[in-house]
């Protein structure tokens, strides 16, 4: 589904239309795999135009303090790469944020940064996740795909799961 929204795959039938005012930000599972020699500060400022001081202030909120902004992106852990990409996305002009398994391989600090940033995000968030805690904490509408059918539930993951159990679609 994400690849169709990002227009990387065509649907088998029908069409996917993105509104003319939709500006998509994408947080992939495979972040910065192509970046070789850039530092955290350079990678951030290549996507977000601002002074070094402003960038360092923002990066500190994403746990990149002091000399850490000069670490090479290629040497960062998965959680650090996610925090850097999230910092970029939160300071770009997006109104639809697509997250692909955003909590995979994150330490507690990185999870907290992710949750805080998403709670403050003003746009729409579309997340694909198996992390029930994450879904319960941040989302009040769940789309559940089961046997090639999509179900929509107004409520968190636990509510959606209860409804799926009632419909006989999910084991108790």
Query: Average pLDDT in the 88-97 region?
Result: 94
Mean pLDDT estimate for the chain: 91
Q: Which residues of 12-24 are buried (b: 16+ CB within 10 A; e: fewer)?
A: eeeeeeeeeeeeb
Q: What is the DSSP string of 20-50?
A: TT--EEEE-SS-STT--S-BHHHHHHHHS--
Dihedrals phi, psi of 137, to nearest 5 degrees: -70, -40
Q: What is the pLDDT of residue 170?
A: 80
The pLDDT tens digits for 125-156 are 999 999 999 999 999 999 998 988 999 999 99
Cα angle 114, 119, 120 (rounded to 5 degrees) comes to 105
CA distance 44 to 89: 10
- 9-18, 79-88, 91-100 — which is least confidently predicted? 9-18
């Amino acid at each position: 589904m994400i690849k169709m929204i990002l227009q990387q795959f065509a649907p088998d039938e029908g069409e996917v239309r993105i509104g003319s005012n939709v500006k998509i930000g994408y947080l992939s599972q495979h972040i910065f795999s192509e970046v070789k020699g850039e530092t955290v500060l350079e990678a951030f400022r290549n996507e977000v135009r601002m002074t070094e001081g402003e960038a360092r202030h923002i990066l500190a909120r994403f746990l990149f303090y002091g000399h850490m902004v000069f670490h090479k992106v290629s040497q960062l852990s998965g959680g650090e790469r996610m925090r850097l990409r999230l910092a970029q996305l939160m300071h770009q002009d997006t109104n639809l944020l697509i997250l692909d398994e955003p909590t995979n391989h994150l330490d507690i600090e990185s999870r907290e940064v992710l949750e805080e940033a998403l709670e403050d995000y003003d746009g729409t968030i579309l997340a694909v996740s198996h992390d029930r805690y994450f879904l319960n904490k941040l989302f009040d509408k769940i789309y559940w795909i089961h046997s090639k059918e999509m179900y929509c539930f107004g409520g968190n993951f636990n509510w959606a799961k209860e409804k799926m159990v009632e419909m006989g679609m999910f084991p108790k």
